[in-house]
Amino acid sequence: MSEAVIAQKSPYVLPMKIGSFYFCTCGKSKTQPFCDGAHKGSGFAPTKVDLTEAKQVAWCGCKHSKNGPFCDGSHAKL
């Protein structure tokens, strides 16, 4: 698999607590936007994100953001 699957064409906007999270980069996870191991054998790996404060986060749903795991509006061009 050379290109990520588009999980959805909008961000996952979620209230997040302080902690470490593993963002799905392949788009196959059933627990979007977080990794559930569905990438195994695909060449993709999750991105670890450490949040140092509780806040609302717009996680990328299309897996094409130029801002890593965070939405940058790239879904509007797909």
Residue ranges making up the domain that contains 17: 12-68
Tens-place pLDDT, residues 9-42? 999 999 999 999 999 999 999 999 999 999 999 9
Tokens at 10, concatenated: 């909008």
- 57 assigned to some structural domain: yes
Separation CA 26–CA 2 (nearest Å): 9
- 50 assigned to some structural domain: yes
Q: Can you tell me which residue has the tokens 């299309």?
A: 62
pLDDT in the model for residue 2: 82
Tens-place pLDDT, residues 1-17? 688 999 999 999 999 99
On the question of pLDDT at 66 being above 70, the answer is yes
Separation CA 70–CA 1 (nearest Å): 22
Separation CA 36–CA 78 (nearest Å): 25
Tokens at 40, concatenated: 């195994």
Count of structural domains within the chain: 1
- 78 assigned to some structural domain: no
pLDDT in the model for residue 1: 62
- 2 assigned to some structural domain: no
Which amino acid appears at position 52 of this protein?
T
CATH number at residue 63: 3.40.5
